[in-house]
Structure 1
Amino acid sequence: MRARYTEWLEKDKLLLIQGWKRDGLTDEQIARNMSINPRTLEKWKANYEPIRQAIKRGRTEVNFIVENKLLKKALDGNTTAIIFWLKNNWRDKYNDSTLGPEERKMIQAKMRKLEADTRVSEAKALLAEQVSSQNNAELERMLKLLEVEGTEDGD
């Protein structure tokens, strides 16, 4: 007999789903516990807010539980927990990078330019595939136009 989504919309079933997620089960394990295919669970999450919220609440609860345990260990003087907490909560101040803020901004700008250049190159390749080899002049004109537009986007 196939499980019907309506039975999983009942309060006690939603609490069960939430508890499974809080206990650390994956969505695939939850689907197995519900006797449904993982793809079915994905569809149900997309279509039925109570099921999606039960999973979300379970995940949020376990995140808070773990976060509180980590904080307690950090406050108790556990050096590893302190380092982990600081690196994840004050990334700008506590990181392993030797780069200054300006250097990081410059690297990010270079990455954005590289991504833009990559998009232009991909567009050129696509355009070259679409334009026939008999029309080389038109291809050259379009490629030049792409180069100009790509330079303007990168600035």
Structure 2
Amino acid sequence: MAKGKYKNWLTEEGLTLLNGWARDGLTDEQIAHNIGISRSTLSEWKKKYKDISDALKKGKEVVDLEVENALLQRALGYEYEEVTREQQWNEKDKKYELVITKKVKKKQAPDTTAQIFWLKNRRPDRWRDKQNVEHSGTVTNQNMDMSALSVEELKKLAKLDE
């Protein structure tokens, strides 16, 4: 495919390649490099040619959804089967072959880091680090009479006599 010629990238083959690069996680800059153009030229192509823009968007959406699903699975925990294979001699075929020797069901515990990340991004109103709390009302006077305390007792309270 001739590099840098937008018409080549509007073909079925070209759009499939663009979609695949986006799905593989390449940035627009990397895709532009693969095409043989600058990132700004790719941006112009995306504005002018809906097919190019759609191919890149569709490819990126698939990866984003896969990552989102993996993050959710990690946050909730999941079960999986671990399969162990070992080489064994097959007398009949006179060769070694991989044979399943053990299957074990395992559980991956929920990941609190993934849970925190998910909640902070999906529910920032309830899960952000900084909460805005409004106080309505008054604070009563909290003055204490310490006139009866000795100097040593006052120093101890002030933690000066340690």
TM > 0.5 between the two? Answer: yes
SS in 2 for 1:92: helix
Q: How much has 1:38 moved relative to structure 2?
A: 2.1
Which residue, 82, 85, 105 being the options, matches 2:115? Answer: 82
- Matching residue of 2:56: 55
Larger Rg: 2
- Matching residue of 1:38: 39
1:125-136 alignment runs, 5 A limit: none
1:17 counterpart = 2:50: no
Q: How many residues align?
A: 102
Per mean C-alpha deviation after superposition, the further-off stretch among 81-90 and 30-39 is: 30-39
How far apart are the structure 2 equivalents of 1:98 and 1:41? Answer: 42
- Matching residue of 2:154: none
Q: How much has 1:58 moved relative to structure 2?
A: 1.5
Q: How much has 1:2 moved relative to structure 2?
A: 5.5
How far apart are the structure 1 equivalents of 2:42 and 2:128? Answer: 39
Q: Kindly indicate which of the two structures has a greater share of residues assigned to strand.
A: 2
RMSD: 1.7
How far apart are the structure 1 equivalents of 2:27 and 2:69? Answer: 22
Aligned AA (2:116): I
Aligned AA (1:42): S
SS in 1 for 2:126: coil
- Matching residue of 1:95: 128
Superposed CA offset, 1:9-63 (max 9, x none): 1112111111111211111110111122222211111100000111111121111
Which consecutive residues of structure 2, in runs of 5 or more, have no partner in the other structure? Answer: 78-109, 136-162
How far apart are the structure 2 equivalents of 1:37 and 1:3? Answer: 9
TM-score, normalising length from structure 1? 0.60
Indicate if the aligned counterparts of 2:3 and 2:35 stay in contact, CA closer than 8 A. Answer: no
TM-score, normalising length from structure 2? 0.58
- Report the identity percentage: 47
Superposed CA offset, 1:88-136 (max 9, x none): 1111111212313x58xxxxxxxxxxxxxxxxxxxxxxxxxxxxxxxxx
SS in 2 for 1:93: helix
Q: Kindly indicate which of the two structures has a greater share of residues assigned to helix.
A: 1
Per mean C-alpha deviation after superposition, the further-off stretch among 7-16 and 34-43 is: 34-43
